[in-house]
Amino acid sequence: MASVTQLGYLGLNVKNVAEWERFATEILGLQSAGDAPDGSRYLRMDEHHHRFIVRENDADDLAFAGWEVTDQPALRELTAQIQAAGIEVTPGTPELARARGVVELVQFRDPSGIALEAYFGPLMNFEQPFHSARAIAGFETGIMGLGHMVIGVNDAAASLHFYRDVLGMRISDFVELKMRRGAPSGMTISFLHCNPRHHTLAFGEFPGGKRLHHFMLQVKTVDDVCSTMYLSRTVACRSPRRLGDTPMIIWCRSTCGRRRGSRSSTAMARVRSTTRPGKCSGTRPAASGVIVEARADHRPGLPPDKASHALIVKVHRAFEAVADDRGDGGGDAI
């Protein structure tokens, strides 16, 4: 059975490409990599030509996701698996393959209608090493791909069958999640992996119309987490809270989002650190509907150089805007 090996690239629909590019380069530390033939903007984070394709669209949501396979035989086998599941597969044209920076690809949709692509042979750019616009040690990618994403699906059971039994991913965890508003009690979040990263994909039947809950980028040092939070300091943060022996939690309200009645439909960003946050706090609205969460999770018993450091970007969803005036954060980060 063929299986996908990593989340290779993401296509994002955003309302303001220039503003999102500024956010991605100046705050997240990505690098601009020119324009696609259709005017979309490429962004890179490692030796790959690009990992993100950002295009102008009012949806402010996921446009497509690219899943890598090892080679052409694997792509052929995966295509047959998808078709055997009763899902239509469209071969990508040579023009589309060039635009995506791959040798060959196919297009299809998951049970929720989310646009997906499977490909092999990504374009690499070793002659011009990745160089961030800000001081950053870099991102943990390689065989683990760009990071992970969490999406909202229509039918969790159908999605689990598709991603596990058709695309060949493996189960990491199931988590029962309870949210305060607009979500049924006992919602199950499924976590799946296709490489050494704990999970490359997670999904649940989240309320609201958006598909992308967030995507995660893993940085190499905790200093990069803290400097990202410092660069995002333009929004006031609440006082840090310690929940028992867990890491410090800082909640920051983003000013992005649309108005709902008399109050702003804003989202909450959570910043986690096991050390006192000091100046390492904050978040910053970028393009409409986007907030950033940075966290440093030091696993018990591991030395600092083995700690897990993550930089998470969320796209605004209705259920993320559940923080009420009492100051509680809406929805746990996944």
Q: Residue ranges per domain, the chain?
A: 6-135, 214-320
Classify each residue of 281-302 as buried b or exposed e, where b means 16 or more C-beta atoms within 10 Å of its C-beta: bbbbbbbbbbbbbbbbebeeee
Is the CB of residue 200 less than 8 Å from the CB of residue 218? no
- The amino acid present at 151, given as its one-letter code, is I
Q: Which residues of the chain have pLDDT under 70?
A: 178-186, 233-334
Element (H, E) at 101: none
- The DSSP symbol for 124 reads B
How do strand 187-193 and strand 170-177 relate by DSSP bridges?
Answer: antiparallel
Q: What pLDDT score does 180 carry?
A: 63
Q: Pull the structure tokens for residue 282.
A: 């904050």
Is the CB of residue 226 less than 8 Å from the CB of residue 134? no
* Mean predicted lDDT score pLDDT of the chain: 75
State the number of CA atoms in the 13 A half-sphere of 175 facing the CB.
Answer: 16
- The amino acid present at 243, given as its one-letter code, is L
Q: What pLDDT score does 309 carry?
A: 53
Dump pLDDT digits (tens) for 273-294.
323 333 333 333 333 333 344 4
Element (H, E) at 311: strand 308-315
Cross-strand pairs, 108: 116
Nearest C-alpha neighbor of 69 from the set 1, 148, 126: 1
pTM: 0.77
Q: Is 128 left (phi over 0), alpha (psi -120 to 50) or beta?
A: beta
What φ, ψ does residue 233 adopt, rounded to 5°? Answer: -80, 5
Q: Determine the CATH number of domain 6-135.
A: 3.10.180.10
How do strand 61-68 and strand 52-56 relate by DSSP bridges?
Answer: unpaired
Task: Say how far apart CA 193 and CA 171 lie, in whole Å.
Answer: 6
